[in-house]
Amino acid sequence: MSIIKAAVLMGLLTTGMASGQVVVSSKIDTEGGVLGNIILQMLEANDIPVESRLQLGGTPVVRQALIAGEIDVYPEYTGNAAFFFNRPDDPVWKDAEQAWQTAHDLDLEANQLVWLTPAIANNTWGIALRDDIADEAQVGTLSDFGKWVADGGDVKLAASSEFVNSAAALPSFQSTYGFELTADQMVVLSGGDTAATIQAAATGTSGVNAAMIYGTDGAIPFAGLRVLMDDKQVQPVYQPAPVVRAEVLEEYPQIEEILSPVFQALTLDMLQSLNGRVQVEGVPASDVARAFLADGGFVTK
């Protein structure tokens, strides 16, 4: 009898202890490493007991782990909520404010998860142009790009076949911004990733001067490319925001104020350069996060 009691007591004690620690996690990719370390170090600096489960796995694994309560907080992209709640065709995901609000409301209702302030950076599918060409043609937005290409601008785009063929990507850019790329103006890499397309544009392989990219790809600034702004909001917005379990936020309500200014400082250029330091220079993500937080004055050295 007493053994059972002791076991139950021990179980209660250990779960009690576990709930005191905030388990910080992130996705396994480069940006997951950077954002996860930023969250981890900020909580640590503010004396919140943390446990690190950074770079845990792909999106389904981290998401399931959060819902199951195995982890307490990780950064997720607002646009991904479209897939979590199975409504990818809803236009709300194309507006930054609405996308965040919708994700926030749906997740709080369904899973008691709270979406905190998102970063300004938008990590969505897009097109980047070589700096030298963009300067010369004065192209900064996709509207400019459409006009330039329609007027006979000399463009050659490297993209994956998925980007070229899926209705939500290039076809919808073309119809919205009023341009049409001929087969000669594209280099289609079947199954190509953004590393390959960026590489092609940077080195000018086969005359390529534009590339399919994700907004915050770390290689972009190193490759001398410029991300063209999706000014008519063709693509869903993918802003990273910390998603935390409501239960944990109740215990540590200060988490919101701690993380909010840091994420607001994460502009597209900033996140690109942080990712770039990890990906291109090979600096560990924790060091990159530490330097960013110290330089921004978010933690005292």
Residues that bind another protein (CB under 8 A): 7-8, 10-12, 14-15, 18, 28-30, 33, 53, 55-58, 60-61, 64-65, 68-71, 193, 195, 199, 202-203, 218-219, 222, 278-284
Query: Cα Rg for the chain, rounded, in angstroms?
Result: 22
Distance CA(112)–CA(99), nearest Å, equals: 18
Identify the helix (H) or strand (E) that includes residue 199: helix 194-203
User: Quick one: 4 or 183, whose CB is closer to another protein?
Assistant: 4
Distance CA(22)–CA(266), nearest Å, equals: 23
User: Quick one: 141 or 199, whose CB is closer to another protein?
Assistant: 199
User: Quick one: 203 or 264, whose CB is closer to another protein?
Assistant: 203
In the complex, least distance from residue 11 CB atom to another protein, rounded to whole angstroms: 3
In the complex, least distance from residue 117 CB atom to another protein, rounded to whole angstroms: 25
List, as one string, the DSSP characters of 205-260.
GGG--EEEEETT-THHHHTTEEEPB-TT--SPP--EEEEEEHHHHHH-TTHHHHHH
User: Quick one: 16 or 253, whose CB is closer to another protein?
Assistant: 16
User: For residue 223, which of 235, 237, 212 has the smallest C-alpha distance?
Assistant: 212
Q: Tell me the sheet residues that pair with 188.
A: 159
In the complex, least distance from residue 203 CB atom to another protein, rounded to whole angstroms: 7
In the complex, least distance from residue 220 CB atom to another protein, rounded to whole angstroms: 12
User: Quick one: 64 or 172, whose CB is closer to another protein?
Assistant: 64
